[in-house]
Structure 1
Amino acid sequence: MVLSGCSGSSDTPIASFRHVDDVSDAADISADASISVVSNIHSGIVVWDLIANKRKYVWGHQGDGINLVTNIHIAFDNSYVVTSDRETFTLWNLTDGEPEGFWRIDEASIRDVAVANFASGILVGRSNGKVMFFEPKTGRRIEFLGHQEKVNSVDLSPNGFYALTGGNDYLAYLWDTRTGQVLHKFSHSSRVTKVALDDQGRYAFTADSKRDAKIWDLVTGKEVSNLQYLARQRIFTTAAFSADGKYLLTGSPAKRVNLWAVESGKELNEWHVSPRANSQPPTAVVYSVAFADQHEIVTESSSGLIEKWKIDTE
């Protein structure tokens, strides 16, 4: 993938398909852009086959009734999905569509979740600052107590060995789920609102509520780049690294999707997803982004649409 530098913005996708009739409350796209899982308060949790463009499964997080799922994460190998509302989380098998576990958290509300390949581990970030790593097949559980305030975002390496967590204490930690040992501490000047790991184990992305959105080298723990933008503040709702490690794709709570160069932090492309119906002002939260191939990306947003966009190349 060779990009020609920042080539302006686009509001026109090359393809669009409605995944829920009204607004969606959460969504995740698999790393290979073949599967999407979307949550809606009335429709439940719908799994989409993006290659065939058809529904695969429809799930009820707590059986029938109102669906309050606000967190979804698909394992890197597309084997499992974890979903959560504020009090419970569920593990789903993507091969047969069946649930394999349902757990309740009474101590504090769930803020974010992640699942490793083969469901070897589930990561749960909570409002009391604690992060739980849980192995559903062995029952092993470890609690990470490094954060002093609310945890906002978590991510897990595909093998389940490494966790990245960020919170209101202005810190993000990379830590080993086998020992609880901190490997790197990433400091910010305000609360950390979004974290993401490169699935190939090269980089971490951590963004705060004010000025900084940084890419870090996971081997050295050193800063690689700080995303370059003119706005006084940027909030990020999702992030994904390209398979070759050269690019970072991000989404925002205000329609914006951006492509960045990892080494420099320079903005290369911008797109605006379709707004929610009847929203004033017209806007949408970008829940998930993924690279479809070297020339296209896909997005899921609160508009209930999955949209495909062209990457400008030369």
Structure 2
Amino acid sequence: MQSFGVTLHKNTGVWNFMLQVTKIDTFSGHRDCVYALQPSAEDKYFYSAGGDGMIVKWDLTRPDWGDVVAQVPASVYALAFDTTQNQLWVGQNYEGIQVIDPLEKRVVASAQLTTAAIFDIVFFENQAFLALSDGVVIVMDRQAFAVRKHIKASQQSARCISINALTREIAIGYSDNYIRVFGIDELDLRHTWEAHSNSVFSVCFSPDGRYLLSGSRDAHLKIWDVANGYALHQDIVAHLFAINHLTYSPDQRLFASCSMDKSIKLWDATTFRLLKVIDRARHAGHGTSINKLLWTSFHNQLISASDDRRISVWDIKTN
């Protein structure tokens, strides 16, 4: 770790001039850790949820304003915005799913699908994929709000999901350290491998579909070559502690990682080089684990959510 810290410092020195990071705002109001972020139909709004069961709508132009659109009786790790219906799917831990109309602030549908924790919800075409703590991935018809299939490929938690629309594949990261890739249409298992030495917390296909990025409790960022049977392309000791989330910028030139080590790191999406470190010492960042990121198209602002109950907004400019 120490030798890699020196390398990071060198890379940061070389590449920092390319990026300018400014903390714009801090949104506070949650009474517990914030675990989930989702965009809205309008790019200046976004939604958050966390351990307090509150689902809050925020306005990026008004940091002093937050509107509670729903309150559920359990903590929320997974939140997904359905752009086709302008509805929020809320994964209530041990309570199932609620679908909420955030404008009317009412429950549209609900189902006690599971008594397990729900870690991720991802939409693709007319399907919804739910990753559960009991190792099951539930596949639903989202218009009919009906279960289509249960996929049980591990005895340990399914933690994260990413879709490759080009290859029509879905990658799922598990707490058994494995990544498993299924075909979207037949839901057939196509690839499985031990990707990390600890739980896989985030998987993210590159926008061009060439690579699958994964982040783990082992603090490694790994890049997998999709066309080459998911062969390892690069292995980077990216953080000091667990990597919780990975996301790409709207222009696809950068991606970001966030970690339990309280930092956000910005990376070149082509070379996978570290460009910038955002932390408390240099940028008045979060004081505890950063759980989720949302990179918006609203002035290229990056949003981060943390165990410190706060949501920070970062302006990212390239020189």
TM-score interval, normalised by the smaller of the two chains: 0.7 to 0.9
Q: Secondary structure at the match of 2:271?
A: coil
- Verify: 1:307 aligned to 2:312, yes or no: yes
Structure ranking higher in helix proportion? 2
Task: Tell me, yes or no, if the aligned pair for 1:217 and 1:223 is still in contact at 8 Å.
Answer: yes
8 Å CA contact 2:244–2:258 kept in 1: the answer is yes
What is the CA–CA distance in structure 2 between the aligned matches of 1:226 and 1:78, rounded to whole Å?
A: 39
Matched, 1:134 2:148: no
Query: 1:207 maps to which residue?
Result: 215
Cα offset, 1:75, TM superposition: 4.5
Give the structure 2 partner of residue 45 of structure 1: 55
d(CA) in 1 for partners of 2:101, 2:13 = 41
Distance 2:161 2:121 in 1: 7
What is the deviation of 1:157? Answer: 5.8
Offset at residue 236 of structure 1 (A): 1.3
**In the superposition, relative to structure 1, how do residues 153 and 42 fare at CA in structure 2: closer, same or farther (>3 Å)?**
closer
Compute the RMSD of aligned alpha carbons: 3.6
Larger % of strand: which? 2
CA contact (8 A) 1:251 1:289 kept: no
Aligned pairs for 1:107-126 within 5 A:
109-116=116-123, 120-126=126-132
1:247-274 Cα distance to aligned partner (Å, 9 max, x none): 2211112321011123333211111265
- Aligned 1:158-197 pairs, distance under 5 A: 162-197=169-204
1:122 CA displacement: 2.2
Query: CA offsets per residue over residues 150-205 of structure 1, 9 Å max, x none?
Result: 2222334689x643211122211222233111344343242332233347451422
Q: What is the rounded CA distance, in whole Å, between the counterparts of 2:75 and 2:195 in structure 1?
A: 31
CA distance in 2, matches of 1:301, 1:158: 30
Q: 3-state DSSP class of the match of 1:179?
A: coil
What is the Cα deviation at residue 48 of structure 1? Answer: 1.9
Partner in structure 1 of residue 250 of structure 2 = 243
- Equivalents in 2 of 1:5, 1:73: separation in Å? 38
Cα 1:199–1:215, aligned 2, differ >3 Å: closer, same or farther?
Answer: closer
Aligned residue number for residue 254 of structure 1:
261
Contact 1:16 1:305 in 2 (8 A): no
The reply on whether 1:263 has 2:270 as its aligned counterpart is yes
Q: How many residues align?
A: 297
Q: 1:191 to 1:80 in 2, by over 3 A?
A: farther
Amino acid at match of 2:59: D
- Scaled by the length of structure 1, the TM-score of the pair is 0.77
- Partner amino acid for 1:152? R
2:118, 2:263 → 1: CA distance? 23
The yes-or-no answer on 1:60 pairing with 2:76 is no
Write the distance in 2 (CA, Å) between the matches of 1:210 and 1:80: 35
Tell me what 1:279 maps to.
none
Within 1, Cα distance between the matches of 2:46 and 2:298? 16
Tell me which residue corresponds to 1:92.
Answer: 100
Give the Cα–Cα distance (whole angstroms) in 1 for the partners of residues 37 and 294 of structure 2.
8
**Match in the other structure for 2:156:** 149
Separation of aligned partners in 1, 2:200 and 2:163: 16
Q: Partners of 1:67 and 1:151 in 2: how far apart?
A: 19
Alpha-carbon deviation of 1:46? 1.0
**Structure 1 CA distance for aligned equivalents of residues 232 and 301 of structure 2:** 25
The answer to whether the Cα contact below 8 Å between 2:267 and 2:276 also exists between their aligned partners in 1 is yes
Unpaired runs of 5+ residues, structure 2, are 1-11
User: C-alpha offsets along residues 272-304 of structure 1, whole Å, 9 cap, x if unaligned?
Assistant: 26577xxxxx42433223154676423232333
Using the aligned pairs only, state the percent identity: 12
Q: Does 1:82 align with 2:93?
A: no
Q: What is the SS of the residue equivalent to 1:265?
A: coil
- Cα deviations by residue, 1:181-232 (Å, 9 ceiling, x for unpaired): 134434324233223334745142222332532123444443574353476x
* 1:33–1:298 contact (8 Å) kept in structure 2: no
Q: 3-state SS of the aligned residue for 2:318?
A: coil
Partner-residue secondary structure (3-state), 1:237: strand
Q: Which of 24, 46, 50 does residue 15 from structure 1 map onto? A: 24
Shift of 1:117: 6.0
Shift of 1:135: 1.1
**Residue from 214, 231, 236 that aligns with 1:228:** 236
Please give the TM-score of this superposition, normalised by the length of structure 2: 0.76
1:25 aligns with 2:1: no
Any idea what SS the aligned residue of 2:246 has? strand
Q: 2:291 aligns with which of 283, 286, 289?
A: 286
